[in-house]
Structure 1
Amino acid sequence: MAVPAPRARRRPSTLGRLLPLLLIAALLAPVGLLLTQTWQHTGDDRDLAARERLGVRYLRALGPVTDALVDAQSAAVSGRPASGEALARAVEEAAAVDARIGVVLRSQERWAGLRAKLEALRDRSPADASAAFTAYNEVTDLLLALHRKVRESSGLVRDPAADSFFLQDSAGQELPEAVVAAGRLADLGTLVARRPAAEQPRGLIELTALRVSALAPASDLVDNLRSAVDSSESTDLGANVLTPLDNYQRAVEALGAYSVPAGGTTAVDPGRLGAAGLNAHTAARQLQPVILAELDALLVERIDGLDRDRWLTTGAAAVFVLLSGWLAALLITADRRARRRATTPAAGAGSPDESTAADAWQPPIGAGRPSDQRALQPVGAAGEPEATQWGPFDAAR
């Protein structure tokens, strides 16, 4: 009986073996790109927040310089003696901060120019109050320009969050401008009161223009801080900011009221105006560190959140790589097993040569073995003619 030859196994093609790995690579590429972009995005946001913290640090150092400069201006205009120790100490502290982070914030050139003006202003004694007022105005303009430079170079002006943006605008722009303008308004009231009666109307016009310059940033400051409290998720911001903000708002309102001539008069009371300016300055001095502290706390919280996101991204990338490697290993192992089975003969099957030899000869259908055929035939060669078989017997007869 014929034994059927085993069916040859079909070997998988090269494309069939590589297709699973290609699918894994096709999945790995977009996921890897997404994780890389997420890592870069969080890294950029973290770098911006860290740079903004440098800006907050610099603004914190400029606050005492602003306060001391405004006080020195008021002393010079009113003729009061001023030691200058507070201004010198504030300048040294700001110089130390600029030496550490000025290169990063690109503020060294502006600070050098401002410091030179401050030292020149401290060493000389102006001839009169009006000259002192003009000289201090030039220096405070340079100081406000340095505030703007720090906000721009540190990225505070590009802060993406609403609450921190309003805080940085309040501490870095509106509050310094309001403090400087309020000091100028109080000092100008002192100067106008000393002028002759013929110059009083022109002095009132100057006071009116300066009052607008002082009240506008103060009003913007109040609006910004209230907007920051309303838009923030922090529960501490409102509690910490609103009380000093209310004190500052009342002081500014009093300053605006005393900068207008009383009923029936054409001049302002320089004493009351100076006291109102001092109160506004004191309230601003209490408000400025609170704003900067809250701004820095929000930036620290943002950096911590970005660090957590980066760790999560790293963990997700590691898990994905491990799963992809595990799946690729399974596919490679399965492919190797399939190739080994394709090259190994089936169990119980002979060698290819034996199968070929067995299939080369097959007996006729219905015929038995050769030994069975010889047992049933008479003596003689099987299949010979009858005359040939009996030939010897006939010859003997």
Structure 2
Amino acid sequence: MTVPAPRVRRRPSVPGRVLPLLLVAALLAPVGLLLAQTHRLTGDDRDLATRERLGVQYLRALGPVTDALVDAQAAAVAGRPVSRDTLTTAVEQAAAVDSAIGDELRSRKRWSGLRAKLEALPDRGLTDPAGAFAAYGEVTDLLLALNRKIRDSSGLIRDPQSDSFFLQDGIGGDLPEAMVAAGRLADLTALAAQRPAAERPKTLAELAALRVAALGPATDLVADLRAAVANSESTDLGPNVLTPLDTYQRSVEALAALSAPAGTAGTGPTDPAQVAAARLNAQSAAKQLQPIILDQLDALLRERIDRLDRDRLLAVVAAALAVLLVVVVAVVLVGESRRTRRRAPDERPAREDSGALPAAWQPPAEARQLQPVGSARPGEPERWEPFDAAR
């Protein structure tokens, strides 16, 4: 009969102990990759939105400069004294903004050139209305170029969201161009009455071009703002923008009607006073609309930055929880491995003691000698002698 040997507890091999830890470490790789990718993408979007807010800040400072410059041009062309107080204040405020963020937006050189032209305007011979019109036209061109530069360097022109893209296009491109062109249209209308009759065809062509230049951006502005409202999820954009937009649209339509050539052939003179009044109404409506657009655009950018910050925080929290779970699993596996190693020495003496029990049958120490078949055993003949004698 065979007695079964006790089951020996086998100690886990080195690969068996290391493999779970390697699997745990492998789980951390995709988590780290996902966190790094999320952090990079949200970081790029956040940096763009932050730079766009700087662009909004700069455009907000350029708005009063545009208003004051158009008013100064109208006064100079009309032969009235030019009030420098409003323009000087606007220039100083814009200079402070450029000093703060001009390096980041790479606008220092353009602003310096524009400011030099602005400060040189009072020193020019503005008694000539045509000369004043040309001088202010040069400065307003530089101002519009600076607006385009700010949109490009701040990233506003590359905004990825529909609502904020249409808003920046309207406030940074369409509105300044419409205001400048409306001012030039009114001023050229006043100059046309002073030109000789021989220049009448040329003047009408210039007025037609300025009329298109003024009405085109104004129409684009209306389309941009309505598109922004239609594509926005914000509940504040529509109510805040549409009412002043309607006022501006009506004023632009009045300017278009009053600046159109009179007469059946379309060659008759227009009334400069009516055109100037219509320009003032359009400019006043634009001044009311301008801060509203800037505020709504800045609010959308702030909301985007807050949303990106929340996404980054959620990604970090999710990665931290994943790492925590992996660490817990690793601690459990390491603890189990240590307990297995501690139990192994305690089981060896038990196996050595169990060796005293026979694993199989063992023969006795003294083996008996085998007898051949039929032979008598020792002492057996003497035992049967009396029986044989009786027979």
The TM-score with structure 2 as length reference comes to 0.89
CA contact (8 A) 2:11 2:341 kept: yes
Give 1:303 deviation, angstroms: 1.2
Of the three residues 310, 313, 323, the one matched with 2:312 is 310
Three-state SS of the structure 1 residue aligned to 2:352 is coil
- Measured against aligned partners, the alpha-carbon deviations of 1:188-247 in whole angstroms (never above 9, x if no partner) come to 101111111121121111100111111111111000000000011111111110111111
Structure 1 stretches of 5 or more lacking a match?
Answer: 374-384, 387-397
User: Could you say which residue in structure 2 is the equivalent of 1:100?
Assistant: 100
1:318–1:360 Cα change, 3 Å? closer
Shift of 1:358: 6.5
In structure 2, the residue matched to 1:63 is 63
Residue 279 of structure 1 aligns with which residue? 281
Decide which moves more: 336-345 or 102-111.
336-345
Tell me how far apart the structure 1 counterparts of residues 323 and 276 of structure 2 sit (CA, whole Å): 70
- Give the Cα separation in 2 of the matches to 1:361 and 1:37: 68
Q: Give the corresponding residue for 1:324.
A: 326
Query: In the alignment, what sits opposite 2:27?
Result: 27
The Cα of 1:83 is off from its aligned counterpart by 1.8
Report matched runs for 1:202-241 at 5 Å: 202-241=202-241
Contact 2:2 2:359 in 1 (8 A): no
Aligned residue number for residue 12 of structure 1: 12
CA drift at 1:40: 1.8
Residue 349 of structure 1 deviates from its aligned partner by 3.8
The Cα offsets for residues 237-278 of structure 1, whole Å up to 9 and x where unpaired, read as: 111101111111111111111111223462111111111111
Give runs of aligned pairs for residues 91-130 of structure 1, distance below 5 A: 91-130=91-130
2:79/2:127 contact within 8 Å kept: no
One-letter identity of the residue aligned with 1:61: A
The answer for the alignment partner of 1:140 in structure 2 is: 140
**In structure 1, how many angstroms separate the alpha carbons of the residues matched to 2:58 and 2:18?**
59
Give the residue type in structure 2 aligned to 1:175: L
% identical aligned pairs: 66
Correspondence for 1:299: 301
Which residue of 2 is the match for residue 269 of structure 1?
Answer: 271
Corresponding position of 2:200 = 200
1:256 is aligned to 256
Q: Is the 8 A contact 1:6 1:346 kept in 2?
A: no
Matching residue's letter, 1:191: L
| Structure 2 residue matching 1:194: 3-state secondary structure | coil
Instruction: Work out the CA distance in 1 between the residues paired with 2:232 and 2:4.
Output: 83
CA contact (8 A) 1:261 1:269 kept: no
1:183 alignment partner in structure 2: 183
Aligned to 1:288: 290
SS at structure 2 position matched to 1:332: helix
CA-atom RMSD in angstroms: 2.3
Distance in structure 1 (CA, Å) of the matches to 2:207 and 2:19 = 82
Letter in 2 for 1:338: T
Equivalence for 1:391? none
In the TM superposition, residue 3 of structure 1 has moved relative to its aligned partner by 5.8
TM-score normalised by L of structure 1: 0.87
Residue type of the alignment partner of 2:322:
F
Aligned residue pair count: 368
1:78-127, CA deviations, whole angstroms, 9 ceiling, x for partnerless residues? Answer: 11112211000000000001101111111111100100010111333324
Distance 1:310 1:360, change over 3 A: closer
Contact 1:174 1:220 in 2 (8 A): yes
Distance 2:339 2:93 in 1: 74
**CA distance in structure 1 between the aligned counterparts of 2:29 and 2:210, rounded to whole angstroms:** 63
Q: CA deviation at 1:338?
A: 2.7
